[in-house]
């Protein structure tokens, strides 16, 4: 059994995999050694672990993993089962690369665009030959709401992600229309532009806000909510095989 931990900008997700299948998961705003001990204690048989982070790892977490399991840190130095053509791999978000690994594993014969709709909205292209080419980074929904409040004198801070009218007849509805409808138009537009360049492109949607986009985009997408965790486990298995 494997333990995969994804420390994102907003949430920390931990999952246990048994023979490639996720058998347990928890989501927290912050992770501590106590919480990690509690979670792993509920899943006996874990022998290997991997952690991915977009920020500093909280004190004691890495030491706990090293002392209790075979441990891998997902970074630019760890071997992965795809090739990245990104020119600055040391600055590439670990979550983006892990998601690319999972996408190619799920659709190995296709060109795939991964859209991770979380704190930021990231776009990553993986071609059928197993090459990650990079993509784009855009502000997520909550960042857009916060920016309008922070950088203007009177616009209120909104955070409700729901349907929005195209024509807002109040300030609140106008903000929702601009942020929500505008972001939908952005994502649909990006899918269409990538599709013109890459034959038979498939789109995988993930991230904390994937449900909002999945039901409203004009383009067909495949929703895989925990794509990063799946990619981490695939990478862990890949490195375990290499070490045999």
Distance CA 244, CA 239 (A): 9
Distance CA 213, CA 181 (A): 10
Q: Which whole-number Å values give the CA distances from 221 to 51, 90, 188, 229, in the listed order?
A: 28, 29, 10, 19
Percent of the chain with pLDDT over 90: 89
Domains 1-73 and 83-244 share a fold: yes
Is 172 tagged catalytic?
A: no
Parse the chain into domains and list their residue ranges.
1-73, 83-244
pLDDT band at 229; cut points 50, 70, 90: very high
pLDDT of residue 111: 98
| Superfamily classification of domain 1-73 | ATPase, nucleotide binding domain (3.30.420.40)
pLDDT of residue 13: 95
pLDDT of residue 54: 87
Pick the CATH number of 83-244 from 2.40.30.60, 3.30.420.40, 3.30.1490.20, 3.40.50.10490: 3.30.420.40
pTM: predicted TM-score of the whole model, two decimal places: 0.92
**List 95, 129, 159, 188, catalytic entry:** 95
Segment 104-159, tens digit of pLDDT: 999 999 999 999 999 999 999 999 999 999 999 999 999 999 999 999 999 999 98
Segment 210-222, tens digit of pLDDT: 999 988 999 999 9
Which is it for strands 48-53 and 2-7: parallel, antiparallel or unpaired?
parallel
Contacts of 234 (CB under 8 A, 6+ apart): 81, 101, 102, 105
Segment 31-71, tens digit of pLDDT: 999 999 999 999 989 999 999 998 888 889 999 999 999 99
- Per the prediction, the chain carries an average pLDDT of 95
């Amino acid at each position: 059994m494997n333990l995969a931990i994804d420390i994102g900008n907003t949430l920390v997700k931990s999952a246990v995999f048994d023979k490639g299948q996720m058998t347990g998961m928890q989501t927290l705003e912050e992770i501590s050694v106590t919480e990690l001990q509690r979670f792993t204690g509920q899943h006996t048989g874990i022998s290997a672990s991997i952690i991915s982070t977009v920020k500093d790892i909280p004190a004691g977490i890495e030491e706990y993993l090293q002392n209790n399991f075979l441990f891998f840190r997902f970074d630019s130095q760890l071997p992965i089962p795809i090739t990245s053509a990104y020119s600055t791999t040391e600055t590439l978000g670990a979550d983006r690369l892990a998601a690319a690994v999972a996408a190619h594993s799920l659709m190995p014969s296709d060109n795939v665009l991964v859209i991770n709709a979380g704190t930021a909205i990231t776009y990553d292209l993986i071609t059928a030959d197993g090459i990650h080419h990079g993509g784009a980074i855009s502000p997520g929904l909550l960042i857009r709401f916060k920016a309008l409040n922070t950088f203007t004198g009177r616009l209120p801070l909104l955070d409700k992600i729901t349907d929005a009218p195209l024509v807002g007849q109040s300030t609140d509805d106008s903000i929702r229309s601009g942020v929500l409808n505008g972001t939908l138009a952005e994502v649909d537009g990006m899918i269409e532009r990538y599709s013109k360049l890459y034959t038979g492109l498939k789109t995988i949607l993930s991230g904390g806000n994937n449900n909002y986009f999945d039901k409203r985009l004009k383009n067909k997408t495949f929703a895989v909510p925990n794509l990063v965790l799946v990619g981490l486990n695939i990478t862990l298995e890949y490195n375990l095989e290499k070490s045999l």
